[in-house]
Chain A
Amino acid sequence: MVYSLPEEVLEHVFSFITSDKDRNVVSVVCKSWYEIERWCRRKVFIGNCYAVSPAIMIRRFPEVRSVELKGKPHFADFNLVPEGWGGYACSWIDEMSRSYPWLEEIRLKRMVITDESLELISTSFKNFRVLVLSSCEGFSTDGLSAIAANCRNLRELDLQESEVMDLSGHWLSHFPDTFTSLESLNMSCLGSEVSFSALERLVAMSPNLKTLRLNRAVPLGKLSTLLQQAPQLVELGTGAYSSGIRSDVYSALSKAFLGCKELKGLSGFWDVDPSYLPAFFSVCSRLTTLNLSYATIRSPDITKVINLCPNLQRLLVLDHIEDSGLNALALSCKNLQELRVFPSDMYVADANVTLTEQGLVSVTQGCPKLQSVLYFCHQMSNSALITIAKNRPNLTCFRLCIIEPRTPDYLTHEPLDIGFGAIVKHCKNLSRLSLSGLLTDRVFEYIGTHAKKLDMLSIAFAGDSDLGLHHVLSGCESLKKLEIRDCPFGDTALLANVAKLATMRSLWMSSCAVSIGACKILSRKMPMLNVEVIDENGTLNPKLDNCLVEKLYVYRTVAGPRSDMPGYIWTMDRDSANKI
């Protein structure tokens, strides 16, 4: 006798399963589960918008409420991907506007979206609630006006680090008088002023506002007004944090912060005047997130703040914090989970800033819950890395950037192979790693042997030969994203590991030693991959098989070659098309 639960019951059970991975597993149990699951999947995450087409997504999941898409390769953040590469949201928005009338949430990262698409979003989805545009571009404040005017139930508008064409500061006034649903607004990336009266009005009519991130242009004097209207805020991003010498501004600000009993996260702090810092000291004991990474204040001031924040879980800061500030962090903040230290000077160590590897060692020693590290510095040693690895085996994300490429261990002048080797050996749950400093093929041998849970790896100016790349591709079982620049890795390793590439989301290689001949072979052997060669300078000669390629981006896809490639991308298909 075959017994199976009725569909409605299964559907109800599945509704408790929210993670994508679990949902994917559920869907392959059997055909009927596949069918039931696909009808009740509400959230879709697509890590590479070219891996699948809108039509395929819509056909499989007809009742989706939330879509998240990522476009350009990660290295686009650092100017390595030329303009016009792609990542256009247009076709996605068009098709979803036709097929998902009940769509509520759209999250895009590193994509190009136009005002027309924003307007389409605002008019197509009656229940639209969440729009997150992270590191996106291609739109202006006109598009935002449409969103403001038409999305009656909007809860979240987050423009995190996007490039927005500032045509008018009045887009905020387009929110109608009846609009009361706003919970989160992040406009910190906007370059120019917004109408302050419109901002004030919006805050006043949003009783559920929990997150407000202002842009630099909002003066400090106005911040207290806003805070008084919104004492329920949980996350605040200030604008410029200075105001000349104005005791009235200071006292109003201080009083306003006193009223914010729910505040847990602070950010912003452009142009900080240290004398205004104490104004927010009253909220420090509750702070779990603090982003001072735009604040060029010095170590003593930073330390003073840190000593008041015992509940800090996440800290972003400039290297002005110095080793002394990091020592204070290690002593005061026992709940710290994530630390990001950014460089204040891009190229050369500022003689006035003493941030060394010691600061990081202290924090790994003193903060037992530390899991995620991003650290820019000028010197590192194997012994420090080994200490860090032994102190913090629970690290899941370790991104170290020693600013000068190929810097060796400053004590021994050796490569940093064994240091990073210790990291991957001890930190068994490491899922993200970025390497820097002088590194030979040996570090990749360690990584291939030990980094079994590694999901994303970034490599620059490292390695000696193809063996390095081969270790990574053959050893890192969980690897999904690999990005490499300026390494002597080439054809041999790539062609020896073609099957691996189909298990990964994407591979980026620029200024390496891959030839066009190898790209042709790869394309022929692996039809489920898109092999895209970027030839910005037009120097590529596809007929010469041993001609090296500038930049290569390889990704798996079920959607075939994409139709929106700019002229400077070479693919096998284009090549054959030209020959016909």
Chain B
Amino acid sequence: MELYLGLALSSSSSSASSCSSQFDLNCHESTIPVHRSKKRKHDDDYDHVPQTLPLLVWNNNFCCNKNQLNEEHQDHDNDGDDDDEVESNSISVRHRNIGGVIGWPPVKLCRRKVCHRKIGNGGGGDDGDGGGSKSMYVKVHMEGIGIARKVDLNMHQSYQTLVLTLANMFGKCYGDVKLTYQDKEGDWLLAGDVPWGSFIKTIQRLKLLKK
């Protein structure tokens, strides 16, 4: 039920009640694709939605207009439970949820690079001056190859393009490799499980493994 923060919001907080009709309009019995990343069993299983990520939160937060979003946010500060997740999700959605929804907004890669340079400049914050661009090079090793390479993570906004670039770099096929990374704590993890924005903040180095 955790993921239905939006829906939980609508039933538990009064300010969002005007939203709920909109939720109903969009989210009731029709088959919303989000929960479908696992096999759908039955319409009745609607309540037991497995954990898929930002898309559903995105839906719910943006069903309302921005004023209502603020109201809900305030209300939830008082609620206690679900607090952290709502916070982080609203924030992640408001503060550049890069890689949250694939292919949206519908902008070609060559243009995304221009936008991204602008975002890359600001780092976490808002200095917003348009000059130059910041690179974020990390080392990449390929299993079985002695020489490491470097890749600029700021040139990418999704795992897909990153793996493709890395695969090409080492002359491998996209489908033959899997990507792992070492995070700030020194642990080696499989890439792709966390939203891109979190990945960028914590990654130290990369390793490509053969499948």
Q: Which residues of B contact A486 (CB under 8 A)?
A: 33, 55
Query: Could you tell me how many residues of chain B have their Cβ less than 8 Å away from some Cβ of chain A?
Result: 54
Q: Are A511 and B33 in contact (CB under 8 A)?
A: yes
CB distance from A488 to the nearest CB of B (A): 4
Q: Are A488 and B32 in contact (CB under 8 A)?
A: yes
Stretch with Cβ within 8 A of B (4 or more), from A116-124, A385-393, A542-550: A542-550
Q: Are A343 and B108 in contact (CB under 8 A)?
A: no
Known A84-B174, A408-B65; judge A460-B104 contact (CB<8 A): yes
Interface residues of B in 1-59 (CB under 8 A from A): 22, 25-26, 30-34, 36-40, 55, 58-59
Cβ of B184 within 8 Å of any chain A Cβ, yes or no, is: no
Choose among B22, B33, B34, B96 the residue with the greatest number of A CB atoms under 10 Å from its CB.
Answer: B33
Known A407-B62, A485-B103, A511-B33; judge A161-B110 contact (CB<8 A): yes
Q: Which residues of B contact A36 (CB under 8 A)?
A: none
Cβ of A293 within 8 Å of any chain B Cβ, yes or no, is: yes
Q: Are B102 and A401 in contact (CB under 8 A)?
A: no
Q: Which residues of B contact A438 (CB under 8 A)?
A: 22, 26, 63
Cβ of B158 within 8 Å of any chain A Cβ, yes or no, is: yes
Q: Are B118 and A345 in contact (CB under 8 A)?
A: yes
Q: Are A406 and B63 in contact (CB under 8 A)?
A: yes
Q: Which of B34, B62, B63, B106 contacts A77 (CB 8 A)?
A: B106
Q: Are A347 and B59 in contact (CB under 8 A)?
A: no
CB distance from B190 to the nearest CB of A (A): 14
Q: Which residues of A contact B37 (CB under 8 A)?
A: 537, 539
Q: Are A511 and B36 in contact (CB under 8 A)?
A: yes
Known A347-B98, A408-B22; judge A488-B158 contact (CB<8 A): no
Known A345-B115, A348-B96, A413-B65; judge A79-B25 contact (CB<8 A): no
Docked Cα-Cα span, A567 to B211, in Å, equals 15
Query: Could you tell me how many residues of chain A have their Cβ less than 8 Å away from some Cβ of chain B?
Result: 60
Docked Cα-Cα span, A486 to B54, in Å, equals 14
Q: Which residues of A contact B109 (CB under 8 A)?
A: 77, 79
Q: Which residues of A contact B101 (CB under 8 A)?
A: 405
Q: Which residues of B contact A567 (CB under 8 A)?
A: 175
Cβ of B94 within 8 Å of any chain A Cβ, yes or no, is: yes
Q: Which residues of B contact A537 (CB under 8 A)?
A: 37
Contact with B along A460-490 (1 / 0, CB 8 A): 1100110000000000000000000111101
Cβ of B114 within 8 Å of any chain A Cβ, yes or no, is: yes
Q: Are A346 and B164 in contact (CB under 8 A)?
A: no
Cβ of B95 within 8 Å of any chain A Cβ, yes or no, is: yes
Q: Which residues of B contact A458 (CB under 8 A)?
A: 106
Residue on B nearest A546 in the bound complex, by CB: B40
Q: Which residues of B contact A270 (CB under 8 A)?
A: 114
Q: Which residues of B contact A376 (CB under 8 A)?
A: 105, 107
Q: Which of A410, A461, A464, A547 contacts B40 (CB 8 A)?
A: A547
Cβ of A344 within 8 Å of any chain B Cβ, yes or no, is: yes
Q: Are B102 and A80 in contact (CB under 8 A)?
A: yes
Known A488-B32, A548-B40; judge A348-B107 contact (CB<8 A): no
CB distance from B121 to the nearest CB of A (A): 10
Residue on A nearest B167 in the bound complex, by CB: A83
Cβ of B140 within 8 Å of any chain A Cβ, yes or no, is: no
Q: Are A490 and B31 in contact (CB under 8 A)?
A: yes
Q: Are A79 and B158 in contact (CB under 8 A)?
A: yes
Q: Are A161 and B108 in contact (CB under 8 A)?
A: yes
Known A347-B97, A547-B40; judge A513-B31 contact (CB<8 A): yes
Q: Which residues of A contact B30 (CB under 8 A)?
A: 464-465, 488, 513
Docked Cα-Cα span, A189 to B38, in Å, equals 39
Contact with B along A158-178 (1 / 0, CB 8 A): 000100010000000000000
Contact with B along A339-351 (1 / 0, CB 8 A): 0001111111000
Residue on B nearest A342 in the bound complex, by CB: B111
CB distance from B211 to the nearest CB of A (A): 12
Docked Cα-Cα span, A342 to B113, in Å, equals 13
Q: Are B31 and A488 in contact (CB under 8 A)?
A: yes
Choose among B104, B110, B116, B175 the residue with the greatest number of A CB atoms under 10 Å from its CB.
Answer: B104
CB distance from B16 to the nearest CB of A (A): 13
Interface residues of B in 175-191 (CB under 8 A from A): 175
Cβ of A196 within 8 Å of any chain B Cβ, yes or no, is: no
Cβ of B160 within 8 Å of any chain A Cβ, yes or no, is: yes
Q: Are B107 and A78 in contact (CB under 8 A)?
A: yes
CB distance from A343 to the nearest CB of B (A): 6
Cβ of A294 within 8 Å of any chain B Cβ, yes or no, is: yes
Q: Which residues of A contact B26 (CB under 8 A)?
A: 406, 438, 464
Docked Cα-Cα span, A429 to B50, in Å, equals 45
Choose among A80, A346, A548 the residue with the greatest number of B CB atoms under 10 Å from its CB.
Answer: A346
Choose among A75, A404, A407, A458 the residue with the greatest number of B CB atoms under 10 Å from its CB.
Answer: A404
Interface residues of A in 361-418 (CB under 8 A from B): 376, 401, 403-408, 410, 413, 415
Cβ of A197 within 8 Å of any chain B Cβ, yes or no, is: no
Contact with A along B111-126 (1 / 0, CB 8 A): 1101110110000000
Known A352-B128, A488-B31, A539-B38; judge A78-B108 contact (CB<8 A): yes
Cβ of A541 within 8 Å of any chain B Cβ, yes or no, is: yes
Cβ of B130 within 8 Å of any chain A Cβ, yes or no, is: yes
Q: Which of A294, A539, A546 contacts B114 (CB 8 A)?
A: A294
Known A348-B96, A544-B39; judge A404-B33 contact (CB<8 A): no
Cβ of B198 within 8 Å of any chain A Cβ, yes or no, is: no
Q: Are B59 and A405 in contact (CB under 8 A)?
A: yes
Q: Are A79 and B160 in contact (CB under 8 A)?
A: yes
Q: Are B106 and A293 in contact (CB under 8 A)?
A: no
Cβ of B74 within 8 Å of any chain A Cβ, yes or no, is: no
Cβ of A512 within 8 Å of any chain B Cβ, yes or no, is: yes
CB distance from A324 to the nearest CB of B (A): 19
Q: Which residues of B contact A48 (CB under 8 A)?
A: none
Residue on A nearest B94 in the bound complex, by CB: A348
Q: Which residues of B contact A332 (CB under 8 A)?
A: none
Q: Which residues of A contact B114 (CB under 8 A)?
A: 270, 294, 296
Q: Are A410 and B65 in contact (CB under 8 A)?
A: yes
CB distance from A162 to the nearest CB of B (A): 10
Docked Cα-Cα span, A158 to B99, in Å, equals 31
Residue on A nearest B97 in the bound complex, by CB: A347
Q: Which of A189, A296, A413, A460 contacts B110 (CB 8 A)?
A: A189
Q: Are B130 and A83 in contact (CB under 8 A)?
A: no
Cβ of A440 within 8 Å of any chain B Cβ, yes or no, is: yes
Chain A residues with a Cβ under 8 A of chain B:
75, 77-80, 82-84, 135, 161, 165, 189, 270, 293-294, 296, 342-348, 352, 376, 401, 403-408, 410, 413, 415, 434, 438, 440, 458, 460-461, 464-465, 485-488, 490, 511-513, 537, 539, 541, 544, 546-548, 566-567
Chain B residues with a Cβ under 8 A of chain A:
22, 25-26, 30-34, 36-40, 55, 58-59, 62-65, 93-98, 100-112, 114-116, 118-119, 128, 130, 158, 160-161, 164, 168, 173-175
Query: Mind listing 24 A-B residue pairs with CB under 8 Å?
Result: A77-B108, A78-B106, A78-B107, A83-B160, A161-B108, A189-B110, A346-B96, A347-B96, A348-B96, A376-B105, A405-B62, A406-B26, A407-B62, A407-B65, A408-B22, A413-B22, A415-B25, A460-B104, A490-B31, A511-B33, A512-B33, A546-B40, A547-B39, A548-B40
Interface pairs A-B: 3 shortest CB-CB: A78-B103, A511-B33, A513-B31
